């Protein structure tokens, strides 16, 4: 009988423990955090500015019977173009060789007829007003390929931060509008994500200098844009 009584007591204790676990889930697992209510909006803004810098690429190419002949003559032409750019006011630190290649050339019948050497240099022009004269100087010195410009601003970082501030203000205004429609109020910021917007350079094709003046290069205006995604809490 004692053995039976002990077994019954053990069963009753186990049932009591199980009942306590079911009746008080918080004691076993902890209380669940309260749900956070919020609204996520996208803010965008842009700042207009006139570019004050421009970059161009100038190239030369030369045909020759041998690879060395083409390479030596092309190197001479490249030095002439670089010298002209330096004399036109481009700083040496603002000149960067882009490529140097030598390879076989082919005639219209698909047969090899010698070699072609090519090289190009990128020039950064820090004063847009001088861009046209610099293009003409490079072409006059023998550059037979030119592309650009790629416009930029020397204070782009400051302009972008200004656009970010405006984008945040735009996001907050949208959040207030949505919260008002929902009968709520905007609380603290829960999350901010910044999105980058790629910029497309304005294409430009150089041509030979005209007697009436330097090649015109108009910078126009450029947009520095910022986009952010902000999540605000709602009360």
Closest CA to 71 of 106, 104, 116: 116
Q: What pTM value is reported for the model? A: 0.66
Cβ-proximal residues to 17 (8 Å cutoff; 6+ apart), any chain: none
- Place 75 in a pLDDT band, splitting at 50, 70 and 90: very high
160's tokens: 């972008």
What is the model's pLDDT at position 197? 58
Last residue of a domain, one of 105, 123, 152: 152
Q: What is the three-state SS of 1-34?
A: CHHHHHHHHHHHHHHHHHHHHHHCHHHHHCCCCC
* Element containing residue 73 per DSSP (H, E): helix 67-87
Q: Are residues 158 and 215 in the same domain?
A: yes
Please report the sign of the dihedral spanned by the C-alpha atoms of residue 92, residue 95, residue 100, residue 106. negative
In a domain, 94, yes or no: yes
Compute the distance between CA of residue 205 and CA of residue 202 in angstroms, rounded to an integer: 10
Q: Are residues 147 and 158 in the same domain?
A: no
In a domain, 22, yes or no: no
In a domain, 66, yes or no: yes
In a domain, 17, yes or no: no
Structural domain count of the chain: 2
Chain centre to alpha carbon of residue 50 = 19
In a domain, 45, yes or no: yes
Q: What is the CATH number of the domain that holds 107?
A: 3.30.70.2970
Q: What is the CATH number of the domain that holds 194?
A: 3.30.110.170
What is the model's pLDDT at position 196? 64
Output phi, psi for 214, to 5 deg.
-70, 160
Q: Flag whether pLDDT at 184 surpasses 90.
A: yes
In a domain, 20, yes or no: no
In which domain, by residue range, is 103 found?
A: 53-152
């Amino acid at each position: 009988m004692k053995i039976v009584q002990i077994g019954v007591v053990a069963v009753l204790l186990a049932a009591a423990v199980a009942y306590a676990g079911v009746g008080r889930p918080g004691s076993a697992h902890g209380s669940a955090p309260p749900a956070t209510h919020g609204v996520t909006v996208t803010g965008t803004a842009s700042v207009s500015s006139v570019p004050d810098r421009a970059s161009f690429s100038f190239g030369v190419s030369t045909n020759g019977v041998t690879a060395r002949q083409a390479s030596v003559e092309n190197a001479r032409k490249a030095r002439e173009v670089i010298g002209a750019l330096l004399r036109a006011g481009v700083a040496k630190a603002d000149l960067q060789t882009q490529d140097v290649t030598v390879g076989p050339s082919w005639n219209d019948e698909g047969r090899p007829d010698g070699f072609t050497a090519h090289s190009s240099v990128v020039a950064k022009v820090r004063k847009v007003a001088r861009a046209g004269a610099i293009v003409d100087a490079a072409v006059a010195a023998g550059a037979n390929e030119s592309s650009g410009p790629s416009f930029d601003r020397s204070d782009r970082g400051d302009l972008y931060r200004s656009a970010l501030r405006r984008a945040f203000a735009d996001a907050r205004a949208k959040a207030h509008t949505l919260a008002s429609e929902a009968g709520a109020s905007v609380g603290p910021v829960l999350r901010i994500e910044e999105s980058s917007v790629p910029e497309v350079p304005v294409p430009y094709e150089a041509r030979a200098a005209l007697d009436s003046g330097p090649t015109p290069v108009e910078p126009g205006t450029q947009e520095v844009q910022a986009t952010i995604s902000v999540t605000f809490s709602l009360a």
